[in-house]
Amino acid sequence: MDTNLDDLKHIRSMMERSSKFLSISGMSGVLAGTFAIVGAVVAYLVLEGRFTFTGSLLYDFILIAFAVLVSALTAGLVLSYKKAIRSNAKLWQPVTLQIAKDFCVPMAVGGLFCIILIYKHVAYLVAPSMLIFYGLGLIAAGSRTYRDVKILGACEIVLGLVAAVVVGYDLIFWGIGFGVLHIIYGILIYYKYDMKSVKNG
């Protein structure tokens, strides 16, 4: 009886691995949040006129956002790859590509929308829009990975809507959304899933 139960658990685990991406690392969320907070602090110093990278406020912000994005993606890929190896899973599989598609469509639309906002001189709505479209991307991708990703996405959307109403605190909301929420999410993922995979390994 116990053997049959173990076999069923093994089959269920194999089916879940093939249909869901379970190699997301909690520590990658913590690092992404840390990078975002550092980026927000640097952006604040640039805004205060302490220093500049390019001589243009807009280009400085784009550079900072790009640096945060690249750092977060790099950390996420490296740590997810290590987690996949520990759990004897493949990082690149059909579900990985599908998640990328689900996530990238709202992000691409959001990016274009933010460019339009800047062009139309409505820059104060850029940060709220980034949070909202990022949240939509997480919800779209969340059905193929941990449920917590959808919850994070919903929190990002709510925060973005609040930021659109409470104008003048863009960097604070940006830092909370991409920084604090990611750190909390990363810690939850680490203790809920990563610790289990380490023990089972």
38-57 pLDDT, tens digit each: 999 999 999 898 889 998 88
For residues 59 and 32, what is the distance between their CA atoms, to the nearest angstrom?
Answer: 22
Distances (CA, A) of 152 to 45, 106, 107, 136, 201: 28, 15, 15, 10, 27
For residues 130 and 139, what is the distance between their CA atoms, to the nearest angstrom?
Answer: 14
108-139 pLDDT, tens digit each: 999 999 999 999 999 899 999 999 999 999 99
Q: What angle do CA 120, 109, 114 make, to 5 degrees?
A: 30
pLDDT, position 21: 63
Distances (CA, A) of 144 to 67, 96, 102, 115, 135: 27, 9, 9, 29, 15
Reported pTM: 0.85
**pLDDT at residue 12 tops 60:** no
Spell out the domain ranges in the chain: 2-200
What is the CB neighbour count within 10 angstroms for residue 120? 9
**pLDDT at residue 22 tops 90:** no
pLDDT, position 158: 98
What is the CB neighbour count within 10 angstroms for residue 107? 17
Q: What angle do CA 164, 167, 169 make, to 5 degrees?
A: 105
**pLDDT at residue 9 tops 80:** no
